[in-house]
Amino acid sequence: MFCFQCEQTVGGKGCTKVGACGKNAVVSNKQDELTAATIGLARAVDGKTPSKNADELMMKSLFTEVTNVNFDENRVEELIVEVEAEKALYGGAENYPWTELWTGNEDIVSLRSTLLLGLRGMAAYAYHAHVLGKDDPEVTSWFYKGMKALGEEHSVEEWLGLLMEFGMVNLKCMGLLDEANTGAYGHPVPTPVTTKIESGPFIVVTGHDLLDLKQLLDQTEGKGINIYTHGEMLPAHGYPELKKYAHLKGNFGTAWQNQQKEFENIPGPVLFTTNCLMPPKNNYKDRIFTTAVVAYPELVHIPDGESGVKDFSPVIDKALELGGFSEIQNLTGINGGDTMTTGFARNTVLGVADTVIDAVKSGAIKHFFLVGGCDGAKPGRNYYTEFVEQTPKDTVILTLACGKFRFNDMNIGEIGGLPRIMDMGQCNDAYSAIQVAVALSQAFECEVNELPLTLVLSWYEQKAVCILLTLLALGIKNIYIGPTLPAFFSPTVLNVLVEKFDLTPISTPEADLAAILG
């Protein structure tokens, strides 16, 4: 096996025997085989119109290959068989030799890998929009274009061109998901979320898929079962059509890398709608349920339902059987706070744009930071907590994705009635952040790069890769990135990114803050 797609890759170089994520060599090789088969599918449909089934297979296959999504060789094999059958309908085509995916000239491998990993990330977003009935022909067709391109020879300039084109397509895809989520559930509103867990049966829902949460809320209503979000599901509390359910009570736990501790002997089931799933320990294995493309051997999987409605009875029965805590649990976030406020998506922030603009003009707000992205297990990630703690009182922190659990229970005060930390949502809500930045640049009649705004990003898996490519394609410069740089950036590719975009690796909060504000 060879895999270097995530931030915890072994030795910062590549996983070759077993993944640091727990993915074994058989699954890893099968995922490469699946990648090669989807390149074959893209070749086969070239010049023809792909079916809806082909489109779904493309999204599902790429999503399946994302870190911490699928650990089940049988499910990957099933997908390979389905892709081959679909490919045959278009007269077939050669698959890419999967053993050559990560080999060749270092810079070409780097550029090819970056495009593939970005496509994997975008597939997750496209899939969430798709289940809500939203597809964009440009996004869908770019999966074929991108996968076909992966199997071809290109110059460095051509690869860079493809990456920038992809970044703009991913912006469209995030916009599509924003439209799907807000269309179905309304625009998020600021919502304080408690970290306390009440007594009685409960279910924890994690991952990014709001439709799975909505169906579970419907199916548990009036049954005496409380629902708690976890990880990337926290922003669900902000959506009017989800927050209206009285039994959507609060948030359990913190970011994904703490799950093996947090789920220990928990008296309730956990539903994984997407990544990040870690190999479950024996003391809670019987309580973990997967759905959609998430899978792990021996765990109960909730299949896609007839006419789009899933049957969550196995999860509900488990919640009733386990019965929950006998008394209220006064849990807190990492810093001891018992409330995590979310819901500051674009509509809310732009709704107070005049207040924000006045505060900037009067000097009450000196700088904006977007401190966002993934969390992970590396000790160096304390940087993000310390960075937020050290930001001056006249600055505002916008945040998104699961990295925020490092500081989203802290109360660092307000400016002009607005909290200094504003949670914009999941990683895909980078779209909201981009809309706000564009609106501010229009209000101040300047370029986004001239705004008093700095992006301080943390990355872990491939959704962060597609978002980074979007930000670069938009010409956003001076992004700070950590905790370490991707192993799939070769020295030459990294040089290009540093020179062209001033991409800066994080150093210390003190030094970086001084450089940004000085």
152 in a known ligand binding site = no
The residue from 176, 402, 465, 472 that contacts ligand FS2 (CB under 6 A) is: 402
| One of 86, 209, 212, 232 touching ligand FS2 (CB under 6 A) | 232
278 binds ligand SF4 (CB under 6 A): no
**Quick one: tokens of 193?**
């979320």
Instruction: Give the start-end residues of each E strand in 293-442.
Output: 300-302, 339-342, 367-373, 395-399, 414-415, 418-419, 421-423
For residue 243, which phi and psi values (nearest 5 degrees)?
-70, -15
3-state class (DSSP) for residue 73: helix
Residue 308 φ/ψ region, left for φ over 0, alpha for ψ in the -120 to 50 degree band, beta for the rest? left
Least gap, CB of 446 to ligand FS2 (angstroms): 30
Instruction: With CA atoms as reference, report the closest residue to 259 among 238, 281, 234, 242.
Output: 281
58, 234, 276, 513: which one binds ligand FS2 (CB under 6 A): 276
Instruction: DSSP letter for 128, please.
Output: H
Among 140, 461, 479, 488, interactor with ligand FS2 by CB under 6 A: 461
For residues 86 and 43, give the distance between their C-alpha atoms in angstroms, rounded to a whole number: 12
Q: Is 6 labeled as ligand-binding?
A: yes
65 touches ligand FS2 by CB under 6 A = no
Spell out, one character per residue from 25 to 54, where the chain touches ligand SF4: x when CB under 6 A holds, - when not: ---x--------------------------
* Closer Cβ to ligand FS2, 54 or 255, answer by number: 255
Residues 463, 468, 488, 509: which binds ligand FS2 (CB under 6 A)? 463
Q: Is 461 annotated as a binding residue?
A: yes
CA distances from 211 to 181, 185, 205, 300, 419 (A): 9, 9, 11, 19, 29
Q: How far is the CB of 477 from ligand FS2 (least distance, A)?
A: 23
**299 in the Ramachandran plot: left (φ > 0), alpha (ψ -120 to 50) or beta?**
beta
Counting contacts by CB under 6 A, is residue 15 touching ligand SF4?
yes
Does residue 6 touch ligand SF4 according to CB under 6 A?
yes
Q: Which is nearer to ligand FS2, 424 or 516 (CB)?
A: 424
4 binds ligand SF4 (CB under 6 A): yes
- Residue 367 labeled ligand binder: no
Q: Cβ-closest residue to ligand SF4?
A: 19
Residues in the chain: 518
Scan residues 353-392 and list those touching ligand FS2 (CB under 6 A): 374-375
What is the C-alpha radius of gyration for the chain, rounded to an integer number of angstroms?
A: 22
Compute the half-sphere exposure of residue 162: CA atoms within 13 Å on the CB side of its CA: 26
| Number of residues this chain uses to bind ligand FS2 (CB under 6 A) | 14
Residues near ligand FS2 (CB under 6 A) are 231-232, 256, 275-276, 374-375, 401-402, 426-427, 460-461, 463
